Amino acid sequence: MITVGIDIGSLSTKSAVLKDKQEVLAYDVIYTGGNNRQSAQTTFRNVLDKAGLTEDQVDVVVTTGYGRENVPFSNKNFSEITCHAKGMYFLNPEIRTILDIGGQDSKAIQLDDDGNVLNFLMNDKCAAGCGRFLDIIARALNVQLEEMGEISLASTSAARISSMCSVFAETEVVSLVAVGTPAPDIVKGVHDSIATRSIALLKSVGIREPLGMSGGVAKNIGIINSLQEKLKMKVHVTDYPQVTGAIGAAYLG
Amino acid sequence: MILTREFKLIDGNDRKLQARKMRENLTSYNMDNYIEPSFPKTARYRSLFNAYYITECFKEQTKVAYVGEVFPNELLFAFGFISLNFESISTLFSQSEAIDMCLRLTEENYLPRDLCSSVRAAYGAALANCLPRPDMIIINNHLCDGLSKLGFQFSKIYDTVYSTFNVPLQETDESVAYLAEQFQHVLQEIEQATGMAYDDARFRQVIALSNEAKDYFLKTIDIAKKVHIPGLQRELYEIMAVNCWGMKEMVKICRTLYDETQEKLAAGETAPRMKRMLWVGLAPDQSHEMVQYLEHKIELVYWTTYWEGNLMLLDSGQTLETMARRSISYLWNSVRMREQTAYVCDENEIDCIILVNTWGCRNMMGLGQAVREMALLKKIKFLSVDVDIRDKNNYSFSQVKNRIDAFLEIL
Ligand code: SF4
């Protein structure tokens, strides 16, 4: 049985193909852009190409994410919370708490032993603490988003980013650059600030170990380090952090 | 400029002008999401009564008082007053496009945006000069300081009598006696302000009417707890929002609802039991997208309807004391909140709770924590959302819907 999950997020659209709910055959990530129906269609085609399959061979398409109800070829849809939970359960059934940091929101989810959601909390009001925040700071520092994790490893003394708003934090970063603060210290400061916000979210929902992280931001080693330092516990990252929701959607198919 | 330097309305404090402005501003009343009432006779009486009430407020000879939510309106009805509360004024405007104008006026007049929109909307309506000039303002200075300051500001704008009382947070014999004494004092202030004498016989009559209406209401609540009759929980909430206990029309509305409920029971017009969600916090009108979305998926039970302070009957022997008890128990304190919400959950076999946080509401302090703790203890699923039913700048349905969908999936 072939199931496809498509996760239409605010910044990127992700897809994954599962075979018999056991094996990830392929996955794909593209920018969402202004037309989420179109991006769902594009990533669907891409992922089938990568898996060497045709549309006829697909049994079920499940959508999730903000644009989940807007895809004509979807057979069913679920919220990202359910899909991230199932995706994480599929990828690492040991995990009992998930921190998901996406482009424009972050979530803390507590799971039971079967991967069902016990409780969750979302921050979807403010970009500070999300992927978009890193994006803005990378631009202000003129570095690549993907390099930020590595850059922060060279920090000797993290700068303190006091602002809780990404727009004002950008101003703060520009001021730090102006007084000669080294880039690694600024980036480390930004990571610490995201970690602090995420921990508040996690603690409100309650942390049951092991803790896993999903979402594109989980690929940033600097964030993982900041979280581990502050929480004093291991943060597990799977092989497919960015497509956890899409995998979960396919798993629910 | 809307106000003079002495906080007086520039275009005059005249009810005819205010009525015209009210008509002009409320022309954009939002009927797109109109819903066929499930209890047509009750809904009709209720709407007629609301319309009559508003019309009366603008008549020159009518005595109008603005009050806070916990003030016992029966005291005013005994003097033939009509009372308006600030939250209801805000709710009325929130059903119309005029709400944006009200909120804009407050910003143009230096009111900070982080005040709750209940306060801002009512203040904006006053600035637009479309509220009836009050003869008196009676407001509690505790627990909502925003409301009490709003009342004071109104008294300056309309150049009217301002009377304030303090509601203790805890219920003890001393605190009840203290509040009852203040009500006695308010009665004297009403006498002074209006030149009317307190009429005990009239007062007794009002109390009897208040209890009679509540009696029908309580009997209907008992039915609503046990069976699912579509639209009943909402109608109960709407009646609670009318909040005119002590007026004879209220008896008619409550009796009609009870009769209609009995008719539906006899005709077998009940629906299969759905999961029950307790709505904790301020609720919008029925046309609101969030209410409509939820009511298709779940049976919504409104906490306000079952709140002890709203259901108490008045003891005709110790009327002021029972009014005081009612006002105190109305206040949100975290311990009371936890206990009463637990009771409402048990009585109604609640499956889940949605806590609706209102932007800028200081009264929510302690509330979320208390309800969440109780929900955890009772293993009831709990969701907290931030909703502003008046200021669209503080709320996005797509965000809230996303959370609700996830929550419904885990139920
Ligand atoms: S602060 Fe809260 S209780 Fe006070 S008026 Fe505003 S919404 Fe109502």
Closest by CA to B54, choosing from B46, B214, A37, A76, is B46
Residue A90 pLDDT greater than 90, yes or no: yes
* Residue A41 Cα, gap to closest chain B Cα (Å): 22
What span, in angstroms and rounded, lies between the C-alpha atoms of B228 and B38? 13
Q: Considering Cα of B65, then B71, then B75, then B78, what sign does the dihedral take? A: positive
- Assess whether pLDDT exceeds 90 at residue B133: yes
Tell me how crowded residue B329 is: count the other CB atoms within 10 A of its CB.
18
Out of A41-50, A115-124, B194-203, give the one with best mean pLDDT.
Answer: A41-50
Residue type, B54: I
B408/A81 Cα distance (integer angstroms): 11
Q: Which two tokens stand for residue B218?
A: 């309580």
The pLDDT value given to residue A1: 94
Percent of chain A with pLDDT over 70: 97
Residue B79 tokens read as 């003097």
- pLDDT > 70? residue A164: no
Mean pLDDT of B296-323: 93
Q: From chain B, pick out residues whose CB is under 8 angstroms from the CB of A78.
A: 409
- Taking CA B191 as the corner, what is the angle to CA B250 and CA B207, rounded to the nearest 5 degrees? 30
Interface predicted TM-score of the whole assembly (ipTM), two decimals: 0.82
Could you tell me the sign of the dihedral formed by the alpha carbons of A171, A172, A176, A182, in that order? Answer: negative
Per DSSP, the three-state class of B315 is coil
Structure tokens at B89: 């004024």
pLDDT digits (tens, 9 = 90+) for B136-194: 999 998 778 889 999 999 999 999 999 999 999 999 999 999 999 999 999 999 999 88
Cβ within 8 Å of residue A116, ≥6 positions away:
A85, B410
| Distance between Cα B365 and ligand 1 center (Å) | 11
C-alpha closest to that of B116 among B400, B395, B406, B401: B395
Residues of A in contact with B382 (CB under 8 A): 119
Confidence at residue B365, expressed as pLDDT on a 0 to 100 scale: 73
Is the pLDDT at A125 greater than 80? The verdict is no
The Cα–Cα gap between B135 and B133 comes to 7
Q: What is the pLDDT of residues B89-119, one digit of tens each?
A: 998 888 888 899 999 999 998 888 889 999 9
CA–CA dist B240, B279 (Å, integer): 14
Instruction: Identify the three-state secondary structure at position B361.
Output: coil
| Start-to-end CA span in chain B (Å) | 53
pLDDT at B29: 61
Q: Are B124 and B107 in contact (CB under 8 A)?
A: no
A120/B405 CB distance under 8 A = no
The pLDDT of A195-201, averaged and rounded, is 91
Mutation choice for B interface testing from A124, A126, A203, A208 by most B CBs within 10 A: A124
Residue B411, both tokens: 């139920």
Predicted confidence (pLDDT) at residue A127 exceeds the cutoff of 80:
no
Q: Which residue type occupies B97?
A: E
Q: Are A189 and A158 in contact (CB under 8 A)?
A: yes
In degrees rounded to 5, what are phi and psi of residue A239? -75, -20
Under 8 Å between Cβ of A99 and A203: no
For residue A129, is pLDDT > 80? Answer: no
B409 touches A at CB < 8 Å: yes
Quick one: average pLDDT of A120-134? 80
Q: Is the pLDDT of residue A140 over 90?
A: no
- Give the position, in ligand 1's atom list, of the atom nearest the Cα of B362: 1
pTM over 0.95: no
Tokens 């049976």 correspond to: B299
| CA distances (Å), origin B213, targets B88, B265, B355 | 20, 21, 29
Share of chain B above pLDDT 70, in %: 98
> Any idea which residue has 């929980």 for tokens?
B233
Give the pLDDT confidence score for residue A216 in this predicted structure: 87
CB contact under 8 A, A80 and B402: yes
Which atom of ligand 1 lies at the shortest distance from residue B86's CA?
5
Which residues, listed in sequence order, are joined to residue B279 by a DSSP beta bridge? B302, B354
> Which of these, B256, B246, B293, lies nearest to B47 by C-alpha position?
B256
Task: List all residues whose CB is within 6 A of at least one atom of ligand 1.
Answer: B 87, 116, 118-119, 144, 146-147, 358, 361-363
A204 touches chain B (CB under 8 A): no
* pLDDT at A221 > cutoff 80: yes
Q: How far is CA B373 from CA A67, A136, A181, A206, B278, in A?
A: 34, 38, 44, 13, 15
Q: What is the 3-state secondary structure (H, E, C) of chain A?
A: CEEEEEEECCCEEEEEEEECCCEEEEEEEEECCCCHHHHHHHHHHHHHHHHCCCHHHCCEEEEEECCHHHCCCCCEECCHHHHHHHHHHHHCCCCCEEEEECCCCEEEEEECCCCCEEEEEEECCCCCCCHHHHHHHHHHHCCCHHHHHHHHCCCCCCCCCCCCCHHHHHHHHHHHHHCCCCHHHHHHHHHHHHHHHHHHHHHHHCCCCCEEEECHHHHCHHHHHHHHHHHCCCEEECCCHHHHHHHHHHHCC
3-class SS of residue B297: coil
Mean pLDDT of B203-208: 96
Q: Give me the residues paired with residue B245 across strands.
A: B247
Q: What is the mean pLDDT of residues B38-62?
A: 94
Q: B386 pLDDT band (50/70/90 cuts)?
A: confident
Q: Which helix (H) or strand (E) holds B66?
A: strand B64-67
For residue B406, give the nearest of A66, A79, A125 by CB distance: A79
Q: Report d(CA B314, CA A158) in Å as an integer.
A: 64
Among the listed residues A29, A32, A80, A26, the one whose alpha carbon sits nearest the alpha carbon of residue A53 = A26
Go through the domains of chain A in sequence order and give each one's CATH number.
1-92+239-253 (3.30.420.40), 94-237 (3.30.420.40)
Average pLDDT of the segment spanning B214-241: 96
Whether B377 has a pLDDT exceeding 90, the answer reads: yes
Provide the mean pLDDT of chain B.
92
Question: How many angstroms separate the CA atoms of B45 and B249, rounded?
Answer: 8
Closest approach of chain A CAs to the CA of B146, in angstroms? 25
Q: Tell me the residue ranges of DSSP E strands in B199-322.
A: 276-280, 299-302
Alpha carbon distance, N-terminus to C-terminus of chain A: 10
Q: How confident is the model at residue B359 (pLDDT cuts 50, 70, 90)?
A: confident
Residue B52 to residues A134, B47, B58, B218, B228: CA-CA distances in angstroms?
Answer: 57, 9, 10, 25, 32
